[in-house]
Copies of this chain bind each other. A is one copy, B any other.
């Protein structure tokens, strides 16, 4: 169980905790953010931390979050309170010969910052469209856009990608030399998120045809720079 949770940089992990956007590698950060479907958003209320899973998307150099005006959460975002937005992708189990060198291959991004509200209707619509495009490219044009009532009932926020750190582990187990001959299997079991066959709305069978991109839906491909995907 290699310790990689919250520790200083080491040769076996990549940590970048820097204060300026220019200081991290946007390609690495963006690939992780664009692949992940859910962010864990941390905030503090009366000294108690809370961590809430949320939909999110990257729009250029900021993260988009949204919340209904009927929720409690929109007030947290609107307050400008310090947030931590953490995104984690699991890439594999690392099985070592010794119990303590078991680990997990993963890629994670931690963003510290405060949410800024997006108030202009055209910018809100663009940000909400981005949330859909993040899930399934093309979907914002293959669904009814938000109407005026929905737009009013939804608050949209942006967290700038300024204080960003990346932490990741890849590769095989790193056993102690004296353990290498032990009679235990050691290696990596890769993990991947896969889409199963789509299930049309049973209550109201849809009129439209199944959208493209569902067959072979692959978050990893979505996380790659567009020029690499094609």
CB-based nearest B residue for A87: B53
Stoichiometry (number of copies): 2
Of the listed stretches A18-26, A98-106, A115-123, chain B binds A98-106
From residue A26, how far is it (CB to closest CB) to chain B in Å? 21
Tell me whether A199 is interfacial, beta carbon within 8 Å.
yes
Compute how far the CA of A50 lies from the CA of B93 in the bound complex, rounded to whole angstroms: 24
Compute how far the CA of A185 lies from the CA of B202 in the bound complex, rounded to whole angstroms: 12
Tell me whether A162 is interfacial, beta carbon within 8 Å.
no
From residue A201, how far is it (CB to closest CB) to chain B in Å? 4
Tell me whether A80 is interfacial, beta carbon within 8 Å.
no
Compute how far the CA of A145 lies from the CA of B142 in the bound complex, rounded to whole angstroms: 54
Determine if A100 and B186 form an interchain contact, defined as CB atoms under 8 angstroms apart.
no
Interface residues of A in 2-16 (CB under 8 A from B): 3, 5-8
Determine if A54 and B84 form an interchain contact, defined as CB atoms under 8 angstroms apart.
no
Given contacts A38-B90, A102-B132, A207-B182, contact A84 B49 (CB under 8 A): yes
Contacts of A173 in B (CB 8 A): 201
Contacts of A85 in B (CB 8 A): 51
Number of interface residues of A (CB under 8 A): 102
Compute how far the CA of A158 lies from the CA of B132 in the bound complex, rounded to whole angstroms: 39
Determine if A203 and B172 form an interchain contact, defined as CB atoms under 8 angstroms apart.
yes
Tell me whether A221 is interfacial, beta carbon within 8 Å.
no
- Which DSSP category, helix, strand, loop or mixed, fits chain A's interface? mixed
Determine if B185 and A96 form an interchain contact, defined as CB atoms under 8 angstroms apart.
no
CB-based nearest B residue for A209: B185
Given contacts A184-B144, A200-B185, contact A51 B42 (CB under 8 A): yes
Compute how far the CA of A94 lies from the CA of B210 in the bound complex, rounded to whole angstroms: 13
Determine if B189 and A198 form an interchain contact, defined as CB atoms under 8 angstroms apart.
yes
Contact of A86 among B7, B52, B83, B106 (CB under 8 A): B52
Compute how far the CA of A206 lies from the CA of B179 in the bound complex, rounded to whole angstroms: 10
CB-based nearest B residue for A194: B194
**A58-102 near B? 1/0 per residue, CB < 8 Å:** 000000001110111100100000111110101001011111101
